[in-house]
Amino acid sequence: DTAVSQTPKYLVTQMGNDKSIKCEQNLGHDTMYWYKQDSKKFLKIMFSYNNKELIINETVPNRFSPKSPDKAHLNLHINSLELGDSAVYFCASSRSFSGELFFGEGSRLTVL
């Protein structure tokens, strides 16, 4: 039973398209995150939500819009995809006030 699951695992799309990645956690955590990992393995936080409230919103283009319908779900919608958006996107969750993040397996986005 996967703790943090995200779909799809792979996404190949054309520039200019809009796509979404979904994430669900069954750990009962209050906080969820989106991280982006580039081709050099560099991991950078994009957003974090606590109890459905946006807490962290890093310098991310407005084309990226997270949405948390409830504490167990955090989705990421990307408009007008660009080549530079190609990366692996990781969803994670944690208890509030904990640095122990539980990551999903990642969604590899390739923009052609």
Partner 1 sequence: GESVGLHLPTLSVQEGDNSIINCAYSNSASDYFIWYKQESGKGPQFIIDIRSNMDKRQGQRVTVLLNKTVKHLSLQIAATQPGDSAVYFCAETPRIYHGNKLVFGAGTILRVKS
CB 8 within 8 A of CB 20: no
Provide the minimum distance between the beta carbon of 112 and partner 1 in the complex, in angstroms, as a whole number: 20
Q: Which is nearer to partner 1, 31 or 75 (CB)?
A: 31
Task: Considering the complex, state which of residue 17 and residue 96 has its C-beta at the smaller distance from partner 1.
Answer: 96
Residue with tokens 């122990």: 100
E strand spans, the chain: 4-7, 10-13, 19-25, 31-37, 43-50, 53-57, 64-70, 73-78, 87-94, 102-103, 107-111
CB of 105 to partner 1, least distance (A): 5
Bridge partners (DSSP) of residue 70 are: 73
Minimum CB distance to partner 1 smaller for 10 or for 80: 10
* Nearest distance, CB of residue 16 and partner 1, angstroms: 28
Residue 80: CB minimum distance to partner 1, A: 27
Could you list the residues that contact partner 1 (CB under 8 A)? 4, 30-31, 33, 40-45, 48, 50, 55-56, 90, 92, 94, 96-106
Give the DSSP H/E element, type plus range, for residue 72.
none
Tokens 């999903």 belong to which residue? 104
The nearer residue to partner 1, 44 or 63, going by C-beta atoms, is 44
